[in-house]
Structure 1
Amino acid sequence: MESVFGLVRHPGNDALFRAVEMSLVSTLAGRPLHIHAEGLRGTGKTTIMRRVRKALPRIRRIRGCLYNCDPSAPHCPVHRGLSPEEVAALGEERVPMPFLEISHAAKIGTVVGSIDLSRLVSATHPEAALLPGTIPQAHRGILFVDEINRLAETSPELADVLLDVMGTRPGRVQIEETGLPPVELPVLVSVWAASNPDEEPGPLEEIRRQLSDRFDFAIYTDRPSDPEVVEQILAAAEAGEARPPRIADTKAELWRTRLTLRTADLRQVTIPPGIRRQVAALYSQFDLESLRGVEAIQAGIRLSACLDGRREVQPEDLLRVVPMALRHRVDPELLRRVTSYLAEGLAPAETPAPLAAASGGPATAPGRTRFPGLSFGGVLAEPARPLPAGAEPGTGRPSPGAAAGTGPGPDGRAEGVTGAAPAQTAASAAGTGPAPDPGPAGGPPTGPDAGTRSGDLQAAGSRGPVDPGTGAARLASGAGAQPGEGTHGRAGGSWLHRALARLRVRPSLPDPATLPPQAPPNPARPLSALAPEDWVRTEEELGHP
C-alpha cells in the first residue's frame, strides 16, 4: 500500500516504516529512540528516512531559539536562567520537529558548535559568543547520518561525539573554544542512520561496536519480491510530481495528527508484570551483553502497543520488537533461539507468521516439546527425542518382545526398562538411519554416527530447574563425578559425557577423551614434526574431480 510519503509500503520495508513511527512518537514524548536501517543498496532506506521530513510533527519552542528550547524547561545558554514570566514575555512558536543531517565532510566545529564570528567582528557591538552546531540545533528532533559505517571509519572523532549524544538520555554535547569557558548542553535527539553492511568497510558492529550498541533498533530493509509491488513502486515514481499538492498536504497532516494523538496515549500504556519478568529473564537466561538491549525492548513494546491503539502490552509485541532490538547485539543463532523461546510462550495459533523472517531463522515447530538446554563450558546439548513405548531402535516399529507393562512415564521415558542407553536420535526414532552404538555403560554413544548428529541438535537458551538429586544438580554445584561413577578414560569417555548420558542428552561437540593427541589443549607441533597424514590440504593441491 502507498504511505503518506508518496512511497510504497511493502513487507520488505514495513519494519522500517514502523520503526520510524515509533521513533517519532518516542521523541515527541521526550525519550529519544535511535534506529539504524541496514540492507542492500537501492532498497529505499535513505529515501524513507529523508521523506519523513515532509510530515514531521510540530513542537513548541521559545520564539526564535536556535537550540529549540522547550518553554517549560529552557536549557540553552541564552534562556536557561530565565523565569517563567520572562519566558512568557519572549513568546513561543510552533515549528516542525527539526531534521538535520551530518555529512561525511563535516567538521567538529560545525557538528558541535564554534565561535560566532559574525558577532565577534560586529562593528557596533563585538562580543564572543557561541554558534550552535548541527547537534544542538537538532534538540528535540532527528539527526540523520547516511552511510554511518563509513563515517565511523573515516571520521572517528565524529563517532566519539555521537557516542556522547546517544550514550544517555538526555545525551550531552560539550563545546570548547579557545578563550571561552567550556559549555555543556543536554540534547534530546533521536539518531537515525542507514548503511550497506555488505560493502566496505563492513557492518557497523564490526567497526565500532560501542556505536552500534547505542542504537535501540537495527532494521533490515529487504527488496520487494512481488512483481505487483514493483509495478506500484514504478507507478508511484512516475506520478510523484503529478500528485496534487493539496492531497499530499492533507495526508501528511492526518498522519502528523495521528502521531501526536498517539504520543498522548503513550503515557497510559502499561506492561503486565508477567511480560516485564519475561523481558528481564531474557537478559540473564541468554547472557545478553548489554542492558541497552532489554531497555530498548521495554520501550519498544510500549510503543508497539501504543501505535496499535492498545493500553496494555501483549506477548505479540515482544515478538515484533525483539528481532529489531537484538539483531545487532547477538549472533543470528542466538537471535533464533530467543525468538523461538518467545514463540513457545504463545499458543501455536497465536504465533505471528512473519516471525521466522524477522528472526533470521525458522520458528520452533508447533507442539514441539521444549527442553531447558544445558550448557557446560562450550558443550551445548538438549535431550534426544525418546522412542515410542516399546518401539524397536532403528525402525520405530513396536518391538515384538516389548513387555506388557512397559509404557512412557510422566517424564516421557519408558518405565520398566533398566540399563537403558541414552535416547536415540530423531533420525533413528523415525527409522531413517541406523542407531548409534550406545557404547559402554555410562559412556557416550559410539559408532559411525556418534558425535556427528550436531545438525539434529537445537541448542536451547535457558537453564531450567533440575532435581537436586540428579546428576545435573551435582554438575551445577561443581561436585563433578560421584564415587562409583567411573574414572576419566578413553574407554568410558569423559566425566562430562557420562553425566550427559545419564541426563539423556547428546553433546553437540565431540568427546574430549576421543580427540587426537595433536588437538588443543595439547601444545602445537611444528610442521616438521607432522606426519603426511596429519597435513590439511587444499582443493587445489588435491585436484578437482
Structure 2
Amino acid sequence: MDSLFPFTALHGQPLLQTALLLATVDPLIGGVLIEGPRGTAKSTAARALAALLPSAREVGRFVNLPLSTSEEQLVGSLDLEAALQGGEVRFRPGLLARAHEGVLYVDEVNLLADGLVDLLLDVCASGVNRIERDAISHAHPARITLVGTMNPEEGELRPQLLDRFGLLVRLGNVLPPAERQAIVRARLAFDADPRAFSEQHAPAQQALAERIVAARATLPMIAFSDADHERVAALCHAAAVEGVRADLVMLRAARAHAALAARRQIDVADIDAVAELVLAHRRHAQAAPDASAPSAGSQAASASQHPASDQASPAQDAMQPSADAGAPAEGDWGAMPSQVLPIAGVKTVRPLNAKKS
C-alpha cells in the first residue's frame, strides 16, 4: 500500500474527504457521487480511502468498474446446469462480490448504462446482492462503499438516478494559490519517494483507520431523537425535495458524522455538516432557503467545538465542513418565485390551421 497516496495527505478537498468517510462508516448511505473536472483528485481520494478500510483482504479493497461491464460481470452468474442436474447452486462471483467490504469505483458513472447504475444503487441501499435465474436464486452480502465520478460537460445522470446517490460533492477547478501550492508540494514529495512519504503519514493513517473501526462499532448505539427528526424534516422541506429519501440519508449521514467524532448522540452540528452533501442534488430550483440554517462560517465554528478526537491529526481536517458546505443563505419565507411576463408589443402568431374563436 506504500504506492498509494495517503488519505490524510490530501489537501484542498475537505468536503470530499468528509463524504467518503461518512459513506465508509455507513455504506447504506447510498454511495458518493463526485462531480467535477479532471485533475481534482477524485480517483486518488477513492483509492486512498480503500487503503484505510478495516478489511482482512488486500485484494478487493478497491474494485474498478469499467464502463463496458455487463450485468453478469457485475452481479455474478449461476451455473444452471449444475443446479438442474445435482440440485446444487453454484455461484460465480462478480464485481459486487469482490467489492464487499471495500470500495467500488465507477469513473464517468454518467456514461454507464442506466440499468447497471440502477442495479448498483439497489445493492448499495440494501447491502445484499440477489441473483435470480430461471427460478434459481442466490444472495450474498455486498456492503460496498460506492464512489462514482462524473464530469457534467460529458453528460448528466437522469434525475431518478441522481436522487438515489446518497451524497454529492461538487468540486471546483479553481483553487486558491496557497491550496494549489500545498497540493503540488505533497504530490511532488510523494512522487520523489512514495515509501518515505507514506511512512511520514503512517501515524495519521493508522489513527484514522482506527476511528473508522470505532465509528462503525458505535453507529448502532446512536439513536435518532425527536429534535433530530424535526431538524432534518425542516431542512428537507425547505429544499422542496421529493419523497423522503433525503431525510433518511441525512439522518444516516449525521449519525455517521457523530460516530466519527466519537460521540453517542447527534448534535445540530452533525446535521448541518452533512445537509448540503445530501441536498445539493435534490434541492428543487424553486425551493425557499431555510432561514434557520446556519451559514458556512457558523457550521465550521460549531464543528470545531466537537473535535473528532482529543489528539489532533491531519485526518480531522476532512471532518471540518468548508464554506461550500454551508446551507443556503437566509431568504424571505414569504417571497413569491419570479414569474416570466410577456414582453409588451410582441404579437402572438396564430398557426395557419387554428380556428378563429
Indicate whether the TM-score tops 0.5: yes
Change (3 A) 1:32 1:280: closer
Partner of 2:147: 192
Q: Paired residues, what number?
A: 325
Q: Would you say 1:8 and 2:10 are equivalent positions?
A: yes
Partner of 2:351: 526
Partner of 2:107: 146
AA of the residue aligned to 2:7: F
AA of the residue aligned to 1:191: L
Do the aligned partners of 1:102 and 1:145 also contact (CA within 8 Å) in 2?
yes
SS of structure 1 residue aligned to 2:43: helix
- The C-alpha deviation readout for 1:354-379, integer Å capped at 9, x for no partner, is 78633586x22xxxxx7542xxxxxx
Q: Would you say 1:343 and 2:294 are equivalent positions?
A: yes
TM-score (norm 2): 0.75
AA of the residue aligned to 2:123: V
Partner of 2:119: 161
**Which of residues 222, 227, 233 is equivalent to 1:274?**
227
SS of structure 1 residue aligned to 2:175: coil
AA of the residue aligned to 1:95: R
- Could you tell me how far apart the structure 1 residues matched to 2:323 and 2:183 are? 26
Partner of 1:264: 217
Query: Which has the greater radius of gyration?
Result: 1
- The C-alpha deviation readout for 1:19-69, integer Å capped at 9, x for no partner, is 111111114xxx4541111112211112111222222223xxxxxxxxxxx
Alignment of 1:58-457 (within 5 A): 58=55, 94-95=56-57, 98-114=61-77, 129-151=90-112, 155-166=113-124, 168-176=125-133, 181-185=136-140, 187-197=142-152, 199-200=153-154, 202-204=155-157, 208-223=158-173, 225-241=175-191, 242=193, 243-244=195-196, 246-284=199-237, 286-331=239-284, 334=287, 337-338=289-290, 340-343=291-294, 357-358=324-325, 363-364=329-330, 372-373=333-334, 381=336
- Could you tell me how far apart the structure 1 residues matched to 2:119 and 2:187 are? 37
AA of the residue aligned to 2:33: H
Q: Would you say 1:23 and 2:23 are equivalent positions?
A: yes
- Select the structure with the greater relative contact order (CA < 8 A; seq sep ≥ 6): 2
Q: What is the CA-CA distance between 1:528 and the residue it aligns to?
A: 11
AA of the residue aligned to 2:44: T
- Could you tell me how far apart the structure 2 residues matched to 1:105 and 1:349 are? 42
- Could you tell me how far apart the structure 1 residues matched to 2:114 and 2:258 are? 37
- Could you tell me how far apart the structure 1 residues matched to 2:98 and 2:164 are? 21
- The C-alpha deviation readout for 1:421-462, integer Å capped at 9, x for no partner, is xxxxxxxxxxxxxxxxxxxxxxxxxxxxxxxxxxxxxx6xxx
Q: What is the CA-CA distance between 1:329 and the residue it aligns to?
A: 1.3
AA of the residue aligned to 2:129: R
Backbone CA RMSD of aligned residues = 3.9
Q: What is the CA-CA distance between 1:333 and the residue it aligns to?
A: 5.5
Considering fraction of residues, name the structure with more helix. 2
- Could you tell me how far apart the structure 2 residues matched to 1:113 and 1:354 are? 39
AA of the residue aligned to 1:109: E
Q: What is the CA-CA distance between 1:4 and the residue it aligns to?
A: 3.8
Q: What is the CA-CA distance between 1:146 and the residue it aligns to?
A: 0.9
Do the aligned partners of 1:332 and 1:360 also contact (CA within 8 Å) in 2?
no
- The C-alpha deviation readout for 1:68-105, integer Å capped at 9, x for no partner, is xxxxxxxxxxxxxxxxxxxxxxxxxx435733221112
SS of structure 1 residue aligned to 2:77: strand
Change (3 A) 1:333 1:317: farther
- Could you tell me how far apart the structure 2 residues matched to 1:355 and 1:41 are? 21
Q: What is the CA-CA distance between 1:332 and the residue it aligns to?
A: 5.3
Do the aligned partners of 1:110 and 1:134 also contact (CA within 8 Å) in 2?
yes
Q: Which runs of 5+ in 2 are unaligned?
A: 83-87, 304-319
- Could you tell me how far apart the structure 2 residues matched to 1:348 and 1:183 are? 46
- The C-alpha deviation readout for 1:237-275, integer Å capped at 9, x for no partner, is 222141425445444333211211222233343444223
- Could you tell me how far apart the structure 2 residues matched to 1:269 and 1:518 are? 63
Do the aligned partners of 2:25 and 2:216 also contact (CA within 8 Å) in 1?
yes
- Could you tell me how far apart the structure 2 residues matched to 1:7 and 1:349 are? 21
SS of structure 2 residue aligned to 1:19: helix
AA of the residue aligned to 2:219: L
SS of structure 2 residue aligned to 1:219: strand
Change (3 A) 1:289 1:232: same
Do the aligned partners of 2:272 and 2:299 also contact (CA within 8 Å) in 1?
no
